[in-house]
Amino acid sequence: MGLENIDGEVYFPRRAGAKISRTSLVITLCAILGLLGSLMLTMTENYNSVQQSATAITANTPELATTSTTSPTNKATPAAPKSSPMNLQSPILPFPTLLWEQIAVLQSHNRFLYTGNRYLPKIALTFDDGPNPYYTPQVLAVLQRYGVKATFFCIGRQVASYPDLVKQEYADGNLVGNHSWSHPNLALLSSDE
């Protein structure tokens, strides 16, 4: 409700609370803008570190040969991995039994255990103790359906029995590694064995 002055004009007097509300609104907006600015700066720094890490990873990753095929998705199909020179190192003997000693020895010989980049959404998917005529084709089908690659650590005697499965693992673009000939319980073996 307004008041009239001497000239008959209606005016509305300011309430004391309106000035306080306006001041608190300005302070709140400044605080929100400051938080958003800090968040954007943090996200930019994280993005830059991810880009640098991805560049470093790409530079250290062996290239895959690709062959272009005509498909409904127009994606390049990975072929067999290109071979790259490996730095074969001799085993460290004697190798300690305690974990902390093993880590120290590996570090002293510049053989480090690495973890993945925590900013990249990737995992290392591994399968051990195969190939198996029942499970391996199922695993390969799931990996192929989702376009995922994995590493298969195969047992030598299983490879001798099912060589075509290992060839298929490799042909699908997966890595194949050695998981011993017979998978002995290594904890029960003597140092000579």
Q: How far apart are CA 20 and CA 64, in angstroms?
A: 66
- How is residue 109 annotated by DSSP? T
**Contacts with 177 (C-beta within 8 Å, 6 or more apart), sequence order:** 151, 152, 153, 154
67 against 42, higher pLDDT: 42
Does residue 66 register a pLDDT over 90? Answer: no
Does residue 56 register a pLDDT over 90? Answer: no
Q: What is the pTM of this model?
A: 0.41
HSE, side-chain direction, 13 A CA sphere, residue 84: 8
Q: Residue 153: pLDDT band by 50, 70, 90 thresholds?
A: very high
- How is residue 61 annotated by DSSP? S
Could you tell me the two tokens for 28? Answer: 């709140």
| Chain segment 122-148, per-residue pLDDT in tens | 788 899 888 999 999 999 999 999 999
